[in-house]
Amino acid sequence: MGIVALLLFGVYVLCMYWYIFHSGGGTIPRALQGTAADPVMFMSEKELYLSGEYSKIRNFLFFVATPLEWLVYFMILIMGVSRYFEKVATSQTKWKLLQNAGYLFLLSLLLYVVLFPLDYYRYNLSKSYGISTQGFSSWMRDGIIDFWVSFGMSFIIVSVIYWLIKKSAKRWWLYTWFLTIPFTIFVMFIQPVVIDPLYNDFYPLKNKELEAKILSLAEQANIPAEHVYEVNMAEKTNALNAYVTGIGSNSRIVLWDTTLNRLTDNEILFIMAHEMGHYVEKHIYFGIAGYLLLTLLGLWLSAKCMRWLIGRHGHVLKIKKISDIGSYPLFLLITSVLLFASNPLSNYISRYQEMRADQYAISLTGERESAVTAFQKLTISGLSEVNPQLLVKWFRYTHPPMLERIYKVAENVDEKKEEPLKEVPLKEEQKKEQQKK
């Protein structure tokens, strides 16, 4: 079974390599060529080349990395590594929680070491293309923080799940889901004030004039906001970003300092209006509801699959019963497959919400030209692919591709008042770039 799994993985990698690098696709439709959405109009030849090359490598890594994790989980099971870790953990102490902690530490450490080369390659790739500016020591520090945060979360989740399995082998998935609801809300509440500051420094926006404009915009949208925060990301990346995080009294409007340094006030206000659109249309609550529904379905399917696989192939997987913590890699394998399979649906909903937020921002600010130039700068800063291949869009893109976003914001939201704007006038620096070409 291990040999078959390796062969299937190898065939899959070859197929994805051909699809990403040689199948074509991702070209600009003729109707949009020469418009503000066409990357030729706002990116240099070098940027276009690097964007295409970088995007293909990242897309290929995405489609390879997740199945590679499945393969690792499978090998850990059939080679008896999980069972060995369980024996080591149970032999050291009689306390169940300490046994869980010991097993999870060994498993987490193994996964970290095995997947480290791929993580390092991604980091080095981002740095070589000028996206990441983060030093190796800083990157390692973030990786270690990730390890312990993930370990802490896993310890809580695993301890609860396997306690529930022992209490109710048939309905543990349902009880787990009930506990997922308060846990998810709690994590979202503490995220901005406990978890995020572990990685970066957050402080009130220094530009008080811009903060006043943002808060004025929030007031127009009837959003209760008192402060806008900025975060020091320039030491880690050249990419641009802004977001709204948290719920309740811990909700925050956050701007990366790279965004503040490279976008105009009008472009920043459009991005802020976009984030406010998510708040006004209650996308965060729809997101929580959707996540909880998918979690319910996922836990139910995981319980069914685990019971069937252990009953039929338990001897191969080295699992005697589902309540043994050594079955945890199987749980990770199944939930990861289900999560990957759900990506097209969840991403589709997310893209719809992002498009709605774009439309809201246009209606609130009326800054279509600033919206277009902001998206153009975002594309350049991240070397983003404006029109990805279909599978890439389905499985990777939580936001609409930039080709769609720029074209849509360049149109008038209220078609009754004004004809759609097909092309946004280029600024002087963009005209000079075109003359050079």
Cα 359 to Cα 350: distance, rounded to the nearest angstrom? 14
Q: What are phi and psi of 151, to 5 degrees?
A: -65, -45
User: DSSP character for 191?
Assistant: I
Catalytic: which of 86, 267, 275, 354? 275
Tell me if residue 138 falls in helix, strand or coil: helix
Q: What are phi and psi of 184, to 5 degrees?
A: -65, -45
Whether the CB-CB separation of 412 and 421 falls below 8 Å is answered with yes
Q: Given phi > 0 = left and psi -120 to 50 = alpha, else beta, which region is 423?
A: beta
Q: Given phi > 0 = left and psi -120 to 50 = alpha, else beta, which region is 264?
A: beta
Pairing of strands 228-231, 252-256: parallel
Token pair 């406010």: residue? 276
Q: How many Cα atoms are found within 13 Å in the side-chain-facing hemisphere of 365?
A: 31
Whether the CB-CB separation of 136 and 144 falls below 8 Å is answered with no
Whether the CB-CB separation of 51 and 383 falls below 8 Å is answered with yes
* Token pair in block for residue 376: 């153009």
Cα 115 to Cα 166: distance, rounded to the nearest angstrom? 32
300 Cβ contact partners less than 8 Å away, ≥ 6 residues apart: 173, 174
| Long-range contact pairs involving 385-390 (C-beta distance under 8 Å, separation at least 24) | 385/26, 385/51, 385/52, 385/55, 385/59, 386/28, 386/37, 386/39, 387/26, 387/27, 387/28, 388/26, 388/55, 388/59, 389/19, 389/20, 389/23, 389/25, 389/26, 389/59, 390/25
Cα 155 to Cα 91: distance, rounded to the nearest angstrom? 19
Q: Confirm whether 433 is a catalytic residue.
A: no
Distance of CA 430 to the CA centre of its chain: 31
Q: What does the longest C-alpha to C-alpha distance in the chain come to?
A: 75
Cα 56 to Cα 59: distance, rounded to the nearest angstrom? 5
List residues with catalytic annotation: 275
